[in-house]
Amino acid sequence: MADYHGQIQLALAGFYDVLTDEGELFRTRARGNFRKRDMKPLVGDWVTFSAETKDEGYILDIDERENSLVRPPVANVDQAIVVTAVKMPDWSSNLLDRQLVALEEKDIEPVIYFTKTDLLSATEMADMIKVADGYRAAGYQVILPAVAFDEPSLLAVKDLLADKLSVVMGQTGAGKSTLLNHLAPELDLATGEVSQALSRGRHTTRQVGLVQLFGGFVADTPGFSAFEVFDMEARDLTHYFREFNALAPNCRFRGCVHLNEPGCAVKDALEAGTIMQSRYDNYKLFYDLIEGRRPVYNKHDKKH
């Protein structure tokens, strides 16, 4: 029985299809001891497995993960295409910034892809161009198509996929599946309200798999966007805002959280208009949200 090393491409009903470093595909199962250790192999995991035939392998070990997502359940993600609608549903800087914080925390590179730009008036489009430039200045890759899913924007996404494991994510109705279908029509993902109405109430077990696209891998199940939870401490939130990170060394105080401290480089940049007001406002909102969740420890126990 030979040992191999490879990456899980598909997880389905207890079976894992693994692509070896040499490009061979094996069907494997996970040994029982993973269950005992409460470990479950995920699509995207690098694993060592033994196999006698292409259909009968056993996963022996899972390499340490760079990161992992819950929806879709994928490990070792390099980048996320964050599909963001500018209309229907309306553009929300709050939602986008939540997603960016969640991705920064997991060390996943975000790419912002704006959809439904053809629904904007000329004035609204001019405003969105300013928004896109603001995110670029913050250090993000932004794709703002002149026309929804036009050729230049799709080419830009295709160029970004090479040599990476990518997921596509965004809120319901933003156009995740539509983008995936434009990139790879063979995926034929169900889109729109009709298919949602049909599948509602039926428990559809969708396997998660990686599709080889344009020299990289893409998870063929779009992710979701219910990033309500900020697990970090409030004082650590600043680390997940790129433009704040870049400015922080110039703050008077080390560990400045850019709220009430004097000599704060972030607040100076805000006044100068070099960082986005909406980003700063969302940062303050998220900060307060995390602080508000903190348990109050024994306020009245000091007497004892």
Q: Is 150 annotated as a binding residue?
A: no
Angle at 163 between CA 159 and CA 165, to 5 degrees: 100
Q: Is 204 annotated as a binding residue?
A: no
For residue 143, give the nearest of 164, 122, 115, 165 by alpha carbon. Answer: 115
Rounded-to-10 torsion of CA 255, 257, 259, 261: 10
Q: Is 256 annotated as a binding residue?
A: yes
Q: Is 173 annotated as a binding residue?
A: yes
Q: Is 115 annotated as a binding residue?
A: yes
Q: Is 258 annotated as a binding residue?
A: yes
Q: Is 239 annotated as a binding residue?
A: no
Q: Is 251 annotated as a binding residue?
A: yes
Helical axes 122-138 vs 277-293, angle rounded to 10°:
60
**219 φ/ψ angles, rounded to the nearest 5 degrees:** -70, 130
Q: Is 177 annotated as a binding residue?
A: yes
Q: Is 171 annotated as a binding residue?
A: yes
How is residue 41 annotated by DSSP? Answer: -
CA atoms within 13 A on the CB side of 141: 15
Q: How many CB atoms lie within 10 A of CB 144?
A: 20
Q: Is 174 annotated as a binding residue?
A: yes
**Exposed (0-12), middle (13-18) or buried (19+): which is 29, by Cβ within 10 Å?**
middle
**Distance separating the N- and C-terminal Cα atoms of the chain:** 67
Q: Is 123 annotated as a binding residue?
A: no
Known binding-site residues equal: 115-118, 170-178, 251, 256, 258, 264
Binding site members for GTP:
115-118, 170-178
| Binding residue positions for Zn(2+) | 251, 256, 258, 264
